[in-house]
Amino acid sequence: MRKVVLIISVFIAAMAVIATACNSSTAKEQGSVKMDPASLVKRGEYLVTIGVCDDCHSPKIMGPKGPEIDMERRLSGFPSSRPIPSFDQALAKKGIAQFNEDLTSAAGLWGISFAANLTSDPTGAGSWPLENFKYAIRHGKLKGIKESRDLLPPMPWSNFAKMTDEDLEAVYTYLKTLPPVENRVPAPIPPVTK
């Protein structure tokens, strides 16, 4: 009899631990666990790093080991001071994506797109209200405005849309800590229809 009571007690304790863990992970998934501001910034920096945001949103300079992030213009998008790059239209019509030398612009069936400025400057996404930032990532809409145009390839917004509210807030909070870089990225160029 003691053995049965012991087994039932262990089973109930195990179920309580599992329920607590499930409730904790559900709360994290729903973004209801709040972090202190420093932890939020650190989490945002981590997510921006592993999300490889620099690959497309940061201009590069040539260093001794090849292309390196231009830290003075980090996450400022395609430099508006550059000429619009030329791409092979025949390849684009075949559905082959092409990138400029530092990956800040791309061409394909959608036309030519330019990586957005993510810094805290008024020309950047870091200046948007948090709700607009979340809407842009969750729904693929420019500036997080429902009636605006869709975000274009190669931006993988549909992958990032799966982030929790807390993670999106962390990314947003981190972007707001970046030095502002004034850079009005050009509007996309529609595909050539000839």
Q: Concatenate the DSSP letters of all residues of 52-121 into one string.
A: THHHHHS-EEEETTEEEE-GGGTT--S-TTSPPPP--HHHHHTT--EE-TTSSEEEETTEEEEPPP-SSS
Q: Is residue 193 part of a domain?
A: no
Residue 35 has pLDDT above 50, yes or no: yes
Is pLDDT larger for residue 13 or for residue 87? 87
Mean pLDDT, residues 32-44 taken together: 87
Q: Parallel, antiparallel, or unpaired for β 98-99 and 105-108? A: antiparallel
Cβ atoms within 10 Å, residue 105:
26
Residue 41 has pLDDT above 70, yes or no: yes
Residues 12 and 92 in one domain: no
The residues with which 67 forms a beta bridge, in sequence order, are: 62
Can you tell me which residue has the tokens 């998008």? 77
Query: What is the number of alpha carbons within 13 Å of residue 136 lying toward its C-beta?
Result: 23
Residues 88 and 164 in one domain: yes
C-beta of residue 138 within 8 angstroms of C-beta of residue 161: yes
Residues 59 and 43 in one domain: yes
Residues 74 and 106 in one domain: yes
Q: Is residue 132 part of a domain?
A: yes
Provide the pLDDT for residue 39.
Answer: 95
Residues 128 and 80 in one domain: yes
- pTM over the 0.85 mark: no
Residues 104 and 69 in one domain: yes
Residues 97 and 57 in one domain: yes
Residues 134 and 155 in one domain: yes
Provide the pLDDT for residue 190.
Answer: 94
Residues 102 and 136 in one domain: yes
Residue 166 has pLDDT above 90, yes or no: yes
Number of folded domains that form the chain: 2
Q: Is residue 194 part of a domain?
A: no
Residues 14 and 74 in one domain: no
Residues 109 and 16 in one domain: no
Helices 165-177 and 130-139: crossing angle in degrees, nearest 10, is 120
Q: Is residue 57 part of a domain?
A: yes
Residue 126 confidence class, pLDDT cut points 50, 70, 90? confident
Domain region containing 2: 1-30
CA–CA gap between residue 61 and residue 48 (Å, rounded) = 20
Provide the pLDDT for residue 53.
Answer: 97
C-beta of residue 74 within 8 angstroms of C-beta of residue 58: yes
Residues 137 and 120 in one domain: yes
Query: What is the number of alpha carbons within 13 Å of residue 189 lying toward its C-beta?
Result: 15
Q: Is residue 186 part of a domain?
A: no
Angstrom CA distances, 119 to 34, 91, 127, 136, 167, stand at 24, 32, 7, 15, 18
C-beta of residue 161 within 8 angstroms of C-beta of residue 140: yes
